[in-house]
Amino acid sequence: MEVVWMMPLLLLLFPLLMWTSSTFVFHFKKFFYVAWMMLLALLGIPACLLKSGGRDVENMRVIRSMVRHVKYLLGLRIKVSGWEHLQTEGPYVIISNHQSSLDVLGMMEILPDRCSTIAKKELVYAGTVGLICWLSGIVFINRKKTSDAKSVMADAAKTMLDQQIRLWVFPEGTRNQNGDLLPFKKGAFHLAVQAQVPIVPVVFSSYRSFYLQKEKQFKSGTIRVKILPKIDTKGMTSEDVSSLADQSHGLMRTAFLEISNSVPKSNGPLKH
């Protein structure tokens, strides 16, 4: 008999228990993030079409303004340093580390005007998100066919100059949450050297204090974004690409370790 009386109580407690269970929060926040971005993109597509009538880098402004609030919904704060290094006239290549799709939040926090990005071609099939990415001039590459990727990026170097466009590249070439940077692929550096434009390195601090994929944890936390001084490529040739990549990797790795360790203690310990 007593069990029967306890049933409503258990039914009330169940959602509460679910809510506080960190695994539930993890899945809920991830699902919410994807669904919200898909919905924002659905609303953003007509806005882009009205703004520029088709595929145009100016549509990135729509994405930038529509995505900025998403960090609050996920309990994240973004702290940016080095703004002055983005005050560079004309085209340049931004390179940054790539931990997860959450990078889009830090990216939209600092994205300069007329800046698009290089992405894997699979992203174009991501429903409304894929369509808005295409409308915003994102350059899609086939990572499995290096020769194709190279020629697309060579065209992008020309377009950057002709249309005064900046490009954001993730030189690790894939997402990575191992607490360090992967070795860099060469495409971003060839791009900058071919266009003879500077490289602006950007570093996102480790997400491991609030986001752990394997452990299924997604807490509140802070993302530090550090914009580093530009690296000039004037006069460089393809011979210089390897050392340019090594130099950039060294600078970014140092900054990554520095800002990842200085995340406030209240966000939990870092596990490297």
Ligand X SMILES: CCCCCCCC/C=C\CCCCCCCC(=O)OC[C@@H](O)COP(=O)(O)O
Ligand Y SMILES: CCCCCC/C=C\CCCCCCCCCC(=O)SCCNC(=O)CCNC(=O)[C@H](O)C(C)(C)COP(=O)(O)OP(=O)(O)OC[C@H]1O[C@@H](n2cnc3c(N)ncnc32)[C@H](O)[C@@H]1OP(=O)(O)O
Q: Would you count residue 170 as binding ligand Y (CB under 6 A)?
A: yes
The angle that helices 60-67 and 22-52 make with each other, rounded to 10 degrees, is 150
Q: Which residues between 16 and 75 bind ligand Y (CB under 6 A)?
A: 37, 40-41, 44, 62-63, 66-67
Structure tokens at 14: 């169940």
Q: What six digits make up the tokens of 211? A: 């986001």
Taking CB within 5 to 8 Å according to partner kind, which of ligand Y, ligand X, none is near residue 153? Answer: ligand Y
233 close to 248: Cβ distance less than 8 angstroms = no
For the CB of residue 268, give the shortest distance to ligand Y in the complex, in Å. Answer: 27
| Cβ neighbours around 244 below 10 Å, total | 21
Binding to ligand Y, residues 240-269 (CB under 6 A) = 241
Q: How far is the CB of 185 from ligand X (least distance, A)?
A: 11
The answer to the question of residue 177 lying near ligand X (CB under 6 A) is no
Residues 119-158 as x/- pattern, contact with ligand X by CB under 6 A: -x--x--xx-x-----------------------------
Rule CB under 6 A: is residue 70 a binding residue for ligand X?
A: no
Binding site for ligand Y (CB under 6 A): 37, 40-41, 44, 62-63, 66-67, 98, 104, 117-120, 123, 129, 132-133, 141, 143, 146, 149-150, 153-154, 169-171, 173-174, 185-188, 190-191, 241
